[in-house]
Amino acid sequence: MPLRSPRLPMVRVAAQRDSRPLVRFALALAVLTLSAAWLALYATTAKGAAGPNLSEYRVVPVPPVTFEQAARAYDLGDFARAAALWRRLAELGDADAQFNLGVMHARGQGVRPSLKMAVEWYRRAAHQGHAAAQYNLGVAYAKGIGLPRADLHAAAHWWEQAAVQGHVQAQYNLGLAYASGSGIERNLVQAAKWWRRAAEQGDAAAQYNLGLLYATGQGVNRDLAEAVRWWQRAAQQGFEHAAEALKVVSVKPAKGEAWNKGRDVRKRVIPSR
Is the pLDDT score of 148 beyond 80?
yes
Residue 87 to residue 96: CA distance in whole angstroms: 11
Q: Does residue 11 contact residue 30 with C-beta atoms inside 8 Å?
A: yes
For residue 213, give the nearest of 262, 271, 269 by alpha carbon: 269
**Domain match, 176 and 151 both:** no
Is the pLDDT score of 236 beyond 70?
yes
For residue 234, being part of any structural domain is answered with yes
Encode pLDDT of 103-131 as tens digits. 999 999 999 999 999 999 999 999 999 99
- Regarding pTM above 0.85, the answer is no
For residue 58, being part of any structural domain is answered with no
CB atoms under 10 Å from CB of 130, counted, come to 23
For residue 209, give the nearest of 155, 172, 251, 257 by alpha carbon: 172
Question: Which structural domain, as residue segments, surrounds residue 45?
Answer: 9-49
- Give me the pLDDT at residue 15, please: 33
**Domain match, 223 and 193 both:** yes
Encode pLDDT of 171-205 as tens digits. 999 999 999 999 999 999 999 999 999 999 999 99
Is the pLDDT score of 75 beyond 80?
yes
**Domain match, 94 and 123 both:** yes
Where residue 147 falls among pLDDT bands split at 50, 70, 90? very high
For residue 60, being part of any structural domain is answered with no
Considering only CA atoms, give the Rg of the chain: 39
Q: Does residue 272 contact residue 243 with C-beta atoms inside 8 Å?
A: no
For residue 118, being part of any structural domain is answered with yes
For residue 31, give the nearest of 58, 52, 8, 60 by alpha carbon: 8
CA distances, 68 to each of 65, 71, 75, 125, 249 (Å): 9, 5, 10, 18, 52
For residue 262, give the nearest of 204, 211, 216 by alpha carbon: 216
**Domain match, 86 and 150 both:** yes
**Domain match, 157 and 178 both:** no
**Domain limit, last residue, from 101, 136, 165:** 165
**Domain match, 153 and 109 both:** yes
Give the CATH number for residue 105: 1.25.40.10
For residue 255, being part of any structural domain is answered with yes
- Give me the pLDDT at residue 94, please: 95
Phi-psi region of 57 (alpha: psi -120 to 50; beta: other; left: phi over 0): beta
Q: Does residue 115 contact residue 81 with C-beta atoms inside 8 Å?
A: no
For residue 102, being part of any structural domain is answered with yes
Domain count, the chain: 3
**Which range, of 54-58, 136-140, 228-232, averages the lowest pLDDT?**
54-58
For residue 180, give the nearest of 79, 98, 271, 96 by alpha carbon: 271
For residue 151, being part of any structural domain is answered with yes
